[in-house]
Amino acid sequence: MTRYLDVQDVRRLIQARGIERCLGELAGFIRDDFLRWSDFDKSPRLASHSKVGVIELMPASDKTLYGFKYVNGHPGNQRHGKLTVMAFGVLAEVATGYPLLLSDLTLATALRTAATSALAAQAMARTGSRCMAVIGNGCQSEFQIMAFLGLLGIREVRAFDIDPAATAKLRRNLASVEGLRISAAGSVEEAVRGADIVTTITADKARATIVRADMIEPGMHLNAVGGDCPGKTELAAAILERARVVVEYEAQSRIEGEIQQMQPGFAVTELWEVLAGKAQGRGSADEITVFDSVGFALEDFSTLRYLYQRARSARIGRDIELIPELEDPRDLFGLLRETGAMNRPAQLETA
């Protein structure tokens, strides 16, 4: 049988443990899997692009478990009352190919993206960072703030979006979070000025310069999340030229990340190297650092592992017969015979 988690099941799981605890635990799962980097079969995601968005499949396997995520990115969906990003995923046994878990990943993708951002920032941002600018206040913004609150101790947030209603939504959703002060900035420049960490999570599929080089101050850490497909960027190339740049999986980030703007020889470090202590995340207090995050299948693999483990222990979700259970595994046709599908319908009369 396959454990099935729908949206409400994932919601119950998060509510039962608390969002900060889930973010911290999930960051731990992601760290553990990045530290097993060489164990995994890895590849850039398979993307099907259209004029209005993208649909992607994101697979990863450690030779014991296999996971994949189906995810979309359609910035115009919000105009039709639909989500910009939605996802589901499967976790399966490599030994048999049998699916262990079929789960909604829309909420969980938001969690894993934020958890990965905060995990990287722990190794890259200046010690004692407390002020963060958040540029783009859509669906991912609250998750990012909660992750940085829980894992780094961020206390002040300056939020900016070209749509004031999005910023109002963010402030309303997090109004009850103790010890967190959120202010609405009038511009990107106002939000960024004096911030320790700058998170960019805009949605438009465009080669944009959301943050310019002249806005950047010594010691800033930039968490660039919104640029996640070919032709979509948020940072000026001049920022990358001045910074230490860390990516999740270089082969994918060259195609989709901020570094798609740079020449092929532009030097970057992969996150697993930083987490394993093989490379520095920051060289000095004044160094500018960039986490060029596009989302990588290994993070979704970790998320599926996390959901499967927590759902089973909490008895959340239900088992479904996604794959036929047969007395004789060679007799698939017999499944139809047993259900009466062999009965031939009466011949239709012709006029």
Q: Where are the domains of the chain?
A: 2-107+299-325, 113-295
Q: What is the number of other CB atoms lying within 10 angstroms of the CB of residue 5?
A: 26
DSSP per residue over 23-42, as a string?
HHHHHHHHHHHHTTGGGSB-
Asked whether the whole model's pTM tops 0.85, one would answer yes
**C-alpha distance from residue 176 to each of 123, 151, 173, 181, 182 (Å):** 29, 19, 8, 10, 11
Provide the pairing of β-strand 2-5 with 318-320. antiparallel
Alpha-carbon dihedral sign for residues 187, 169, 229, 65 = positive
**Residue 348 predicted with pLDDT over 70:** no
Q: How many Å from the N-terminal Cα to the C-terminal Cα in the chain?
A: 48
Query: Of 19-28, 33-42, 281-290, 326-335, which range is least confident?
Result: 326-335
Residue 228 catalytic?
A: yes
In this predicted structure, what is the pLDDT of residue 349?
58
The active-site residue, picked from 9, 161, 228, 292, is 228
**C-alpha distance from residue 19 to each of 22, 150, 272, 298 (Å):** 5, 9, 25, 21
Tens-digit pLDDT profile for residues 55-107: 999 999 999 999 999 999 888 898 899 988 899 999 999 999 999 999 999 99
In this predicted structure, what is the pLDDT of residue 161?
97
Q: Is 132 left (phi over 0), alpha (psi -120 to 50) or beta?
A: beta
How far, in Å, CA of 7 to CA of 136, rounded?
25
Residue with tokens 């000026």: 236
Phi and psi at 276, nearest 5°, equal -85, 0
In this predicted structure, what is the pLDDT of residue 75?
83
Domain 113-295: which CATH number of 3.40.50.300, 3.50.50.60, 3.40.50.720, 3.40.47.10? 3.40.50.720
121-145 in b/e burial notation, b at 16+ Cβ within 10 A?
bbbbbbeebeebbbbbbbbbbbbbb
In this predicted structure, what is the pLDDT of residue 283?
96
Query: Of 36-40, 67-71, 149-153, 207-211, which range is least confident?
Result: 207-211
Q: Which residues pair with 5 in a beta bridge?
A: 103
CATH number for the domain formed by residue range(s) 2-107+299-325: 3.30.1780.10
In this predicted structure, what is the pLDDT of residue 203?
75
How far, in Å, CA of 4 to CA of 267, rounded?
42
In this predicted structure, what is the pLDDT of residue 227?
82
How far, in Å, CA of 323 to CA of 5, rounded?
16
In this predicted structure, what is the pLDDT of residue 231?
86
**Nearest-CA neighbor of 132 among 120, 114, 149, 119?**
149
**Nearest-CA neighbor of 196 among 225, 219, 172, 179?**
219
347: CB partners within 8 A, 6+ apart: none
How far, in Å, CA of 300 to CA of 279, rounded?
24
Q: In the predicted model, what is the mean pLDDT of residues 243-263?
A: 96
Provide the pairing of β-strand 99-104 with 87-93. antiparallel
Query: Of 40-54, 57-71, 235-249, 282-296, which range is least confident?
Result: 40-54
| Predicted confidence band of residue 346 (pLDDT cuts 50, 70, 90) | low
| Predicted confidence band of residue 351 (pLDDT cuts 50, 70, 90) | low
How far, in Å, CA of 269 to CA of 247, rounded?
6
Contact 54, 142 (CB under 8 A): no
